[in-house]
Each structure stands twice: as structure tokens, then as C-alpha cells.
């Protein structure tokens, strides 16, 4: 027994010595550039389950909660993160606009870590979970779907959906109170992606029947899939298939159903004699795939078509819904900004009605308010990259000092979006909600990355902007938005209220916890 204990102790000691040597080697490889030194590397989904323990782990959700503070502590907008155990490779946190521009531009040096996106290939290969030639193939067929005709469709359909909300849900009520604004924004975004993404119009009061061969209707399947993606990412597949709870059974069944619906829609469009002119993403993707391709190129398989449609759903539903929720919260917290926005919309729409898509370019304050919301509450906190070869980047700090930073092959990069968006080098008073900063011509575009940047920037940016501007303009034009008054919060200060209302939690994207709002009719 003593020998066994001694042997175990010796093995443990050798392991610790090995890790210490590797740790010191990793620190030396980056010339001991300032940054975090911890026992555990908790990058990725598991970081959400760890508290912040100095020298042990950076802590759950630390990127958004700390924003730019870690960069201020270490004096540079690129800092290193070296851990001794549990994935001891070197990571770089980057909140430097010039460095990020270089990283997003030179894709051969800074590649996408596809292993982190493997679960997004549940239905098939797609534009997000691919790289190199495969990515180029997906992009060639997917990009034409995001056209101005599709944006015009998004505009028109969002108008119809908001008008349906006004007429058939809120009706003649002078005051509507919601305990959480996502109860409005999530179905709104779902209905928009349903029609502009998949060609299936669904309204607020529709009671869609379940067709034969399905366990739920298309609307419910779409909603549960969008909400259940995070569970698919963090839970083992066998547990979801087993379905020990109703929530997991619904997630399991929704993924099966949505795949069946999309396969049926593909077959229906392919064998339809009358070819309608449609501009939804689904139809555009099918049309682009059916066009003759250059010799040697392959069309997308049905699984790849569904895989890309699945990505469009995820990107176009929760992200927009949560951003609109935060936007309405910020407008309620800053009534002066809301009133300026209202006056701007009235000047563009004097008769109280939005016109066609051509009006989008005139609603500059709406787009500015959206951008400011995305700056303060970016949907994604970290965009990962891998360093494909030994390389260097030159960085500059707030004092104007420059240094060359070594990035060894095999290390990883976290494009630190909150650190960038709250960086005082680029944004004056970065914690303030000030949409006007986006109304000047020289605002720092390289320091604004809610949709990423470079060749791999989000294809659906204009889709999301169009939907958000219409929803914002129509609701603010008709209703004044305030924070719901609750006795238990009667004595709170503005900063306490702001912290409470903007509180979020980790999810597939930044998820608001509870945004209680009141919408009061203006006329």
C-alpha cells in the first residue's frame, strides 16, 4: 500500500513538474507579455460554470462583466492568457482595432478553429463551420440569397408583423406591460425569419395545425429549435435522445421535425411545375444551387442546404430578438434619447406610417441607436481564431508605445468584443448610451465588430438591421417605452436600475435576464 501511494505521489510530482516546465516555456515564448496567469484554462463553454478566482480561473462570463478593465490593468489592448493545466496552450485576448483588422484580413495566418463549431454541423456542413475551399463553396451559393430584394422583403414583412401585433394583440389598450421584453421580441424575430428566411408566413394569432408525420407545427418547431441550440451544444446527444424531461423531449422532436419540414419544402420546390419568383433566403439558396456551376464544382447536398438554413435561423432569430430587447431597455432607461429618436422618426414619417424599403437610408438615428446597442451589448463576446504559423503582430498602447508581439503556431486568439467596444481609445465615455456617436462620418469602424469583420463577416447584417429598424421605428412612433414600475425597486438609483435591467446570462448569444417594460400609447 505504501509503495502504491509513493508511486502515485511520484507520478503526480512528475506530472506537476512537466506542467510547470510547459507553463514557463509558454510564458517565455511570448516574451512574458503581460496578461493572465492561471492554473486552469477554462476557455469555451465550460468557462460559464467557473467563478472568478484570481490565479486559478478568469471566471464565468468574465469578458462582458470586465469589459476593458483587464486591458487597463495590464497596459496593453492585447494581453496573454497562459494556464498551467487543463488545456495549457497560450491564448491572446485582443481588443486592439489595428490588430483585429490584421487578424480578420489574413485568413491563412489566423484560421477558424473548426473543432469548436463541430456541433453546428448537426444537419450538415455550412458556411459557419467550414474553412478554406469548402467555405468558399458555401459562400458562393449562400451570398446571393442576402440580396436587396430579400432586404425589401424583410422590410415589408416586418411591417406586416408589427401591424398585426398592434391590431390583434395590443389592440386599443393605452398601456401594455410585459414582464420580460423578449416575450415580444422573440416571436417577432421568429415570424420574420419564418417568412423572409423560409417563405412561411406566421402571425401572432395563427394556430397552425400539425400535419401528418410531424409531432409539432412548423412555427413551434422553428421556435424550439432556435431556443434549444444551446442545450444541443452543452449536453451529450445521448441525454437529449433519451429525453428525461419534457424540455429535452421537445428539443429532440423539434430538430427531427424541422429537418423533415425542410426536406419536404426542398422536394416541393424542386418538383413544382409553376416556378414562383420568391426572394426569401430558402428560395434564393435553392435557386443559386440549381444554377449551372463551373466544371468540377459540386452542388450542395440536401444536408448542406439544410445545414446552411439552420445557420440562417440561429443567426437571424435569437441574435436580433435579444438585441431588440436590449435596445428597448436602453431607450426606456434614457428617455431623452428616446424622445430624440421619436422626433427623428416623426420627421421622416409625418403621417405616422412607414413607407417602403427606400426609406431605410433616411432613418439614420434608428440605425445609430441600433449600432450603439450592439456596441454596449454585443451578441457574441468572443470570436475565436487559431494561429496557423509562427507569426508576429505590432501593437500600440494608450501611451503610444509600440511593441512586436510573438504569436506561436498552435496558440489561440479571442477577439475580445466587449474589450474593443468599451475601449476608451476609440469610444469617448464608452459606458454611456449615446447613439449620436454613430451619426458622425469618422466614427471608428474598425473598433465595431458585432458582425465580425473581413471576408468572414456576417452575411445577414443587412437582414438584421432592416428588421430592427422597422420594429424600432414603428413601436417608438406609436408607443413611449418605460421601465415597469415595481414596489420592490422603488428606492433604486439610476445605476442600480440600469444594472438590473441590462443584466444578462451566457447562452448561444448574450441573453437578457429580465427586461420588464411598459408601452404607453402616444396617440
Residue 461 confidence (pLDDT): 93
Residue 267 confidence (pLDDT): 85
Selection from 174-178, 269-273, 352-356, 458-462 with the highest mean pLDDT: 174-178
Q: Give the tens place of pLDDT for each residue, 253-294.
A: 998 998 898 888 888 877 776 556 688 888 888 888 877 455
Tell me the pTM.
Answer: 0.91
Residue 302 lies inside a defined structural domain of this protein: yes
> For the purposes of burial, counting CB atoms within 10 Å of the CB of 286, is it exposed (0-12), middle (13-18) or buried (19 or more)?
buried
Domain match, 400 and 376 both: no
Domain match, 112 and 222 both: no
Domain match, 252 and 398 both: no
Mean pLDDT value across residues 366-370 = 98
Q: How many domains does the chain have?
A: 2
The x, y and z cell numbers of residue 98, run together, are 489595428
Residue 417 belongs to domain spanning:
2-116+383-421
318: left (phi over 0), alpha (psi -120 to 50) or beta: alpha
Percent of the chain surpassing pLDDT 90: 50
Domain match, 41 and 161 both: no
Q: Give the tens place of pLDDT for each residue, 37-82.
A: 887 776 655 555 667 777 777 765 578 888 999 999 999 999 998 8
Q: Is the pLDDT of residue 243 over 90?
A: no
Q: Is the pLDDT of residue 175 over 70?
A: yes
Q: Choose between 210 and 207: higher pLDDT.
A: 210
Residue 378 confidence (pLDDT): 95
Average pLDDT, rounded, for the chain = 88
What residues contact 127, with CB distance under 8 A and at least 6 apart? 135, 138, 139, 142, 308, 311, 459
Domain match, 80 and 213 both: no
Residue 49 confidence (pLDDT): 60
Residue 126 lies inside a defined structural domain of this protein: no
Residue 508 lies inside a defined structural domain of this protein: yes
The x, y and z cell numbers of residue 262, run together, are 425542410
Mean pLDDT value across residues 168-186 = 95
Domain match, 298 and 278 both: yes
Q: Is the pLDDT of residue 374 over 70?
A: yes
CA-to-CA separations, 199 to 191, 210, 218, 242, in angstroms, rounded: 10, 18, 12, 33
Domain match, 412 and 491 both: no
Domain match, 108 and 141 both: no
Domain match, 223 and 307 both: yes
**Helix, strand, or coil (residue 511):** strand
Q: Name the strands in the sheet holding 382-387, side by side, starting at the edge strand that comes first in the sequence.
A: 35-40, 78-85, 90-94, 412-416, 382-387, 110-111
Residue 88 confidence (pLDDT): 58
Domain match, 151 and 108 both: no
Domain match, 237 and 154 both: yes
Residue 237 confidence (pLDDT): 84
Residue 498 confidence (pLDDT): 96
Q: Give the tens place of pLDDT for each residue, 289-340.
A: 877 455 456 788 889 988 898 888 887 888 999 999 999 999 999 999 999 9
Residue 438 lies inside a defined structural domain of this protein: no
How far is Cα 296 from Cα 135, in angstroms, rounded to an integer?
Answer: 16
Spell out the alpha helix ranges (H) of 361-493.
364-376, 417-421, 461-478
Residue 367 confidence (pLDDT): 98
Residue 275 confidence (pLDDT): 58
Q: Give the tens place of pLDDT for each residue, 106-158.
A: 988 999 998 888 878 888 899 988 988 889 888 988 888 899 999 999 999 99
End-to-end CA distance of the chain: give it in Å, rounded.
84
Spell out the alpha helix ranges (H) of 243-349.
246-270, 281-290, 302-333, 335-348
Q: Give the tens place of pLDDT for each residue, 409-468.
A: 999 999 999 999 999 999 999 999 999 999 999 999 999 999 999 888 899 999 999 999
Domain match, 303 and 393 both: no
Q: pLDDT confidence of 493, banded at 50, 70, 90? A: very high
Q: Choose between 231 and 195: higher pLDDT.
A: 195
The residues facing 37 across adjacent strands are 82
Query: CA Rg, the chain, in Å?
Result: 25
Q: pLDDT confidence of 508, banded at 50, 70, 90? A: confident
Residue 217 lies inside a defined structural domain of this protein: yes
Mean pLDDT value across residues 205-226 = 83
> For the purposes of burial, counting CB atoms within 10 Å of the CB of 234, is it exposed (0-12), middle (13-18) or buried (19 or more)?
middle
Residue 423, CB half-sphere, CA atoms under 13 Å: how many?
25
Amino acid at each position: 500500500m505504501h509503495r502504491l501511494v509513493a508511486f502515485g505521489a511520484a507520478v503526480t510530482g512528475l506530472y506537476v513538474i512537466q506542467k510547470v516546465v510547459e507553463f514557463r516555456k509558454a510564458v517565455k515564448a511570448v516574451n512574458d507579455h503581460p496578461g493572465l496567469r492561471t492554473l486552469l484554462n477554462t476557455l469555451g463553454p465550460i468557462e460559464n460554470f467557473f467563478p472568478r478566482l484570481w490565479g486559478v480561473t478568469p471566471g464565468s462570463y468574465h469578458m462582458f462583466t470586465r469589459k476593458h478593465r483587464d486591458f487597463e490593468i495590464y497596459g496593453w489592448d492585447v494581453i496573454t492568457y497562459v494556464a498551467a493545466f487543463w488545456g495549457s496552450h497560450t491564448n491572446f485576448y485582443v481588443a486592439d482595432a489595428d490588430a483585429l483588422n490584421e487578424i480578420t484580413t489574413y485568413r491563412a495566418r489566423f484560421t477558424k478553429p473548426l473543432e469548436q463549431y463541430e456541433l453546428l454541423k448537426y444537419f450538415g456542413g455550412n458556411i459557419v463551420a467550414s474553412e478554406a475551399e469548402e467555405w468558399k463553396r458555401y459562400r458562393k451559393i449562400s451570398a446571393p440569397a442576402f440580396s436587396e430584394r430579400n432586404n425589401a422583403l424583410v422590410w415589408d414583412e416586418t411591417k406586416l408583423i408589427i401591424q398585426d401585433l398592434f391590431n390583434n394583440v395590443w389592440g386599443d389598450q393605452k398601456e401594455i406591460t410585459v414582464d420580460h421584453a423578449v416575450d415580444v421580441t422573440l416571436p417577432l424575430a421568429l415570424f420574420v425569419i419564418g417568412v423572409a428566411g423560409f417563405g412561411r408566413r406566421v402571425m401572432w394569432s395563427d394556430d397552425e395545425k400539425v400535419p401528418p408525420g410531424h409531432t409539432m407545427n412548423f412555427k413551434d418547431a422553428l421556435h424550439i429549435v432556435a431556443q434549444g441550440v444551446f442545450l444541443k451544444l452543452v449536453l451529450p446527444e445521448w441525454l437529449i435522445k433519451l429525453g428525461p424531461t419534457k424540455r429535452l423531449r421537445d428539443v429532440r422532436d423539434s430538430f427531427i421535425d424541422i429537418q423533415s419540414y425542410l426536406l419536404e419544402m426542398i422536394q416541393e420546390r424542386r418538383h413544382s411545375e409553376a416556378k414562383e419568383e420568391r426572394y426569401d433566403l430558402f428560395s434564393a439558396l435553392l435557386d443559386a444551387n440549381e444554377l449551372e456551376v463551373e466544371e468540377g464544382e459540386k452542388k450542395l447536398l440536401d444536408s448542406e442546404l439544410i445545414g446552411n438554413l439552420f445557420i440562417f435561423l440561429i443567426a437571424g432569430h435569437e441574435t436580433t430578438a435579444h438585441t431588440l430587447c436590449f435596445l428597448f431597455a436602453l431607450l426606456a432607461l434614457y428617455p431623452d434619447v428616446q424622445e430624440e429618436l421619436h422626433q427623428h422618426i416623426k420627421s421622416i414619417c409625418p403621417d405616422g406610417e412607414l413607407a417602403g424599403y427606400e426609406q431605410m437610408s433616411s432613418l439614420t438615428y434608428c440605425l445609430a441607436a441600433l449600432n450603439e446597442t450592439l456596441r454596449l451589448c454585443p451578441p457574441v463576446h468572443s470570436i475565436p481564431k487559431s494561429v496557423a504559423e509562427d507569426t508576429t503582430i505590432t501593437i500600440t498602447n494608450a501611451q503610444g508605445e509600440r511593441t512586436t508581439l510573438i504569436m506561436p503556431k498552435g496558440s489561440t486568439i479571442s477577439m475580445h468584443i466587449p474589450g474593443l467596444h468599451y475601449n476608451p481609445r476609440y469610444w469617448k465615455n464608452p459606458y454611456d448610451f449615446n447613439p449620436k456617436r454613430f451619426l458622425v462620418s469618422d466614427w471608428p469602424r474598425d473598433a465595431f465588430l458585432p458582425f465580425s469583420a473581413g471576408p468572414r463577416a456576417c452575411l445577414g447584417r443587412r437582414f438584421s438591421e432592416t428588421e430592427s429598424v422597422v420594429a424600432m421605428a414603428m413601436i417608438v412612433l406609436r408607443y413611449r417605452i418605460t421601465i415597469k414600475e415595481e414596489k420592490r425597486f422603488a428606492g433604486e438609483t439610476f445605476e442600480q436600475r440600469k444594472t438590473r435591467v441590462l443584466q444578462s446570462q451566457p447562452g448561444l448569444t448574450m441573453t437578457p435576464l429580465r427586461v420588464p417594460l411598459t408601452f404607453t400609447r402616444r396617440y
